[in-house]
């Protein structure tokens, strides 16, 4: 499996089809800690990240925001004391796109980097 965090997002016009179950299954091993959840029949990638306090969670949220702006692909983020819930899906196609897996992998990389710095 290739390191998805090294890829760049491609612009999504909305005319592409959402990934099907087989395509999702092929990409999912690249982000093993993410859960596949369905909301309103739409698949999403979701993961909860834990932190020792609110400031650390907010710092992580801001770092995700920076890469989301760079890649022009934006998640849903819920920042709480000691945790951040990140959710990726592509609004334009009402489903998952390869970009969502790329951004989930980039989010994992940010979290790993933060964890490594705190040890």
pLDDT digits (tens, 9 = 90+) for 26-69: 999 999 999 999 999 999 999 999 999 999 999 999 999 999 99
Q: Note whether residue 8 is domain-resident.
A: no
Instruction: Give the pLDDT confidence score for residue 13 in this predicted structure.
Output: 84
Q: Note whether residue 4 is domain-resident.
A: no
Instruction: Give the pLDDT confidence score for residue 1 in this predicted structure.
Output: 61
The CATH number of the domain where 78 resides is what? 3.30.1360.20
Cβ-based neighbours of 45, under 8 Å, separated by 6 or more = 31, 34, 35, 36, 37, 87, 88, 89, 96, 100, 101, 104
Give the chain's domain count: 1
Cβ-based neighbours of 56, under 8 Å, separated by 6 or more = 114
Q: Which two tokens stand for residue 61?
A: 């949220």
Q: Note whether residue 2 is domain-resident.
A: no
pLDDT above 80 for 119: no
Distance between CA atoms of residues 25 and 5, nearest Å: 17
* Residue 42: domain span: 18-113
For residue 12, name the pLDDT band (cuts at 50, 70, 90).
Answer: confident
Q: Which residues pair with 90 in a beta bridge?
A: 95
């Amino acid at each position: 499996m290739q390191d998805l965090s090294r890829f760049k997002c491609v612009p999504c016009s909305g005319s592409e089809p959402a990934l099907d179950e087989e395509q999702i299954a092929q990409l999912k091993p690249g982000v093993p800690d993410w859960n596949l959840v369905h909301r309103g029949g739409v698949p999403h990638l979701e993961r909860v990240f834990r932190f020792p306090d609110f400031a650390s969670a907010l710092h992580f949220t801001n770092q995700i925001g920076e890469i989301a702006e760079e890649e022009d692909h934006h998640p849903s983020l819920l920042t709480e004391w000691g945790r951040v819930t990140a959710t990726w899906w592509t609004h334009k196609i009402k489903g998952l796109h390869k970009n969502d897996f790329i951004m989930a992998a980039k989010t994992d990389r940010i979290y790993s980097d933060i964890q490594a710095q705190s040890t």
